[in-house]
Structure 1
């Protein structure tokens, strides 16, 4: 008699009672084990592996034990899944459809020991759908009741649990101030009012050796003791709990806990945060082409922004104005630069210059008094942030133009503009412009021209997701073939792909470690894509030849 391998899956929505010696998961497993034993005459055999999800909702498939179970199903290790009730598997009709599809693909079925139905009959599937509909309905009604109770409690100034924000600790249905932590919160608000930038606040905290206090959450897990991130600081600065209020969704209610921050200070910080965000959004919307009006060819012919659309995706370029408008003789040398790439290069070059304020000021011929060194440093850092955010007005105040040469970019800066941005005096006795040369060259790729280092490496490291996906797939398939249990034809049939395709992808596992690292880091030679990678891998397994084909000149 054929052995039918059975796996039991159990789940409980809450973690209440799971610490007991015999809990709900144990009860479910015991009932399922008895059912499997009753079918021993049919060849049913219980697998020893446990698939138990405690304290996890049935409204999602992202459960560790369930994902492990699905993995074993895909590997063909399970014939029947046994559950106590169907809703233990899922409480979502959509998720159930996905599970059934996965089960059918692996010839796996499932059984509910307390609900008798046959899914092979015309009445069985509607019966199952009705059971799941009521299970989903029950979950959604329960969730609504909990949400309504939380909303009503918060409207009555009550703290409804969870990890309290830094500066407070739970005190029944309220919050009590933790003195040391509250002082840190006040310091963060004061720093933001003074510096006006969350990134500068984070850097100043790191510079002063201040990190997040160590705390323990409700489940006894320790956290903290690390540097403040910008995300954490934004959350602290926007949290109305610090001003004595209780938030719930888009509403805020008066709280019955003591405030750490005065309401006036908290309101001022919200206005400051809103102004920064609004300014960023307006600039991005109004200036999709950051370098419009700045890019020129060596002869003075400007490059203008254009775009094209393909498959509902928008691609931006900067092209030679004369060739675009047909005022010049058609030429293969007409420039067509990918906008994202040239904009990223200019941002990086300016950030590099602004990272060394003293050298920048000196090269611009600006006299600097020692007393304003700190002001210049902070101003250059803020200017660098503004440029990275795409604030066109500040960029154009700093740059006169950008000259695109075949072997370099010339950034023509305005010393007077820099003085005005940093507010460090009058623009007297300074040159009209200063040229900073960026050591990149142009290389043609199809109709477009790309920017690369002299060794052929792309100027902007940009890992190809398609190539990485093929690399991972190739290593996985090669590992399967190396076991000796499957040949190419059987593995291709299991993976539902052509044997020739599987062979070509599996050869990527033979790439050298140096080439593999370059693909993962996006540092291959310009022009290398998934198609050319497969061709090179098929042509040679010699690491030196692979390096010649994949890597920039200096690293091969």
Structure 2
């Protein structure tokens, strides 16, 4: 040990409530050692890391790290209460010793009497560090086992309280369980029901803000007697709430659902707010393009972003034009092709907004008003099939490794059979779920008609309805000689519904002006050419006709 050393006092604590190694006790012990006659050192600074695990690399610790990386020339000795206050990892301890040796520094444990400037001190320090690492692993294993036990008992293991739930005492007397919070469980049910009724996430958020409903975090603050922060609802918040697995009672860790040894999902609540089917329905709804483009402002029209230009396929947007009439200025509203401004569409579709809105309203209510509304089944076996293939592949690799002798070591055989049992159970469960889904009808009759559902909706809900039921509105310009506008409305989903449910055309169409094409979907045309069989051509067929008309006009202009 050098004379009158400059000492860096190092303090670490995993949990600030641990009285046995409290920061004050560590500081007092280091100061007492530094001021002793045979040391006579000076503490030049402190690296105090609280709530920091002993498994963290010392060079990455918030307080100690900068001292080691940037201020190494300011001290000669690193003094700690015990070796485990510096690190609980043998690898990190060896790196610290090497770092100190290269720079002429030493490490001292003041209560264990270890001075690593001597060979004997180094040896004892390495032994103690190895024991500290073993103790850390034991602590972690004990914590993980405790968390797993609490989880299997249905006891909440910690973290942010999920939306719509509250803590209640466990019936077994240990820890807290999750139960529905009466007020916000009802709010979540309201959100889910509105999404089912084709409300957009934006509209729900606006409504909650207008009603001055506190957000979940503010609600928890109010319950705790703290002032609300006035955070507002937004579209992303609504989507996150509706698609969170905890709403259906599923336990997740780092975004992944946690399963038991039998491959079944672990539940965090015995009485979930949403059913598994409802949660899956929310995920299906918001993993489409709607989730990728959550609106921050509402659309101001019924068909904006839904109707398309018949020629180029771009969406139509609502536009306003002001004209000066004898009585003064007047506003006129149109739907126009989005490619009108950049000139990439040679014949951009355009229609007066009131006309097109009325045409769609009349088509759905008059021609399809009595047709039954079917909803797509909320569950798709596709993701389950992908997961099933992945689990099968993992099981095959495991069996291959076993045959190759990779589990011949002591205790490894038991580990292999445990993993094999878990994976086999998961394969069986996933296969059964896929079979159930594939044997179920893809469309379920809601018991309501198009006319009933359509009449209850506002423009925004109608737009969502059109998207959900795969109804296409295509607007063509100059497709026929006697009209500037032509419109085709295709009901692509209805053909599938008719086939799968053995319905008759009379069950769907109220009049004879709707046609079923070879692709299997119904369509209605306004001012469109008629095919050889007397039916309305499809959008694709009309697009070819429109392109030929454009080509002929160009050729005529040249000549």
Could you state the TM-score of these two structures normalised by the residue count of structure 2? 0.45
Query: Which structure is richer in relative contact order (CA contacts within 8 A, separation 6 or more)?
Result: 2
Could you state the TM-score of these two structures normalised by the residue count of structure 1? 0.46
